[in-house]
Amino acid sequence: MSAQKEIKKITTHTLLQLKSQGIPISMITAYDYSFARLFDAAGIDVLLVGDSASNVMAGNETTVPITLEQMIYHAQCVVKAVNRSLVVVDMPFGSYQSNTDTAVASAIRIMKETGGHAVKMEGGAEIADSVRRIVSAGIPVMGHLGLTPQSIYKFGTYTVRARETAEAEKLLQDARLLEEAGCFGIVLEKIPAALAATVSSGLKIPTIGIGAGSHCDGQVLVMHDMLGINNEFKPRFLRQYLNLEELVTGAVQAYIRDVKSRDFPASNESY
């Protein structure tokens, strides 16, 4: 018999248990094998293969251009690295908005081709039928309300959403609707903390906040933001845990110096 301790994998059920025990859920984005391996080993609960890959990996201005094939590629890389975390894969813009058949077909492709554990979709009442059908097909769905970047051309800006009563009430209704439709969790992005607290206390399923205050049942950050890979992006909600831009720039400049001065490679680095 193996002496190795069995790894307890995080499931959607675990997230519900964490909420009921009042234990916050940790989530971070990942897009490739190497970082996903580090995050999983560090003990993160949920890895989100976010369509923010469009921004941080592909250099696009918005999340709109990323394709289903590109999301599948990123998710395949992440899943290979994971032993414990729950892997949630964003359904990209265009892969679910047109009708429920397309939505179910896209979700099935993500599950079959990536080995991911769940999908995430942006929107409320507009996507509730698709959520129901995807969940009926056996696929766990995470919702996403508030600032939904796939609709950036409708909003026009990335400012805080649902400050006004009408939008806040719609968000509350949408959250209830997504729970009824079968979502196992909901990301709340850039909404007032008090509204996020009301949504979170009114639902059985966990909320995961980004710019939504401390009363959400968990928190998510984009890895490039929290690791300080791009120091120009410093929104109020971001806590930066590392300054990788400075560290990487310094390391690469040192390498360039060593190459130019023939200091590298030394004899003990040669065959």
CB of 147 to ligand KIV, least distance (A): 9
Q: Look-up: residue for tokens 């979170």?
A: 200
CB of 208 to ligand KIV, least distance (A): 7
Toward ligand KIV, which CB reaches closer, 33 or 237? 237
Q: For residues 45 and 51, which CB has a smaller minimum distance to ligand KIV in the complex?
A: 51
- The least CB distance from residue 41 to ligand KIV, in Å, is 21
Q: List residues with catalytic annotation.
A: 189
To ligand KIV, the closest distance from the beta carbon of 221 in angstroms equals 8
Which of residues 96 and 255 has its CB atom nearest to ligand KIV in the complex?
A: 96
**Site residues, ligand KIV (CB under 6 A):** 29, 48, 50-52, 90, 144, 187, 189, 210, 220, 222
CB of 118 or CB of 187, closer to ligand KIV: 187
In the complex, residue closest to ligand KIV by CB: 50
Task: Reduce the secondary structure of the chain to three states and give it as a string.
Answer: CCCCCCCCCCCHHHHHHHHHHCCCEEEEECCCHHHHHHHHHHCCCEEEECCCHHHHCCCCCCCCCCCHHHHHHHHHHHHHHCCCCEEEEECCCCCCCCCHHHHHHHHHHHHHHHCCCEEECCECHHHHHHHHHHHHCCCCEEEEEECCHHHHHHHCCCCCCCCCHHHHHHHHHHHHHHHHHCCCEEEEECCCHHHHHHHHHHCCCCEEEECCCCCCCEEEECHHHHCCCCCCCCCCCCCCCCCHHHHHHHHHHHHHHHHHCCCCCCHHHCC
Judging by beta carbons within 10 Å of its beta carbon (0-12, 13-18, 19+), is residue 215 exposed, middle or buried? middle
Instruction: Compute the least distance from the CB of residue 258 to ligand KIV, in Å.
Output: 36
Look up residue 193 and give its two tokens: 């903390």
Q: Which of 90, 217 has the CB closer to ligand KIV?
A: 90
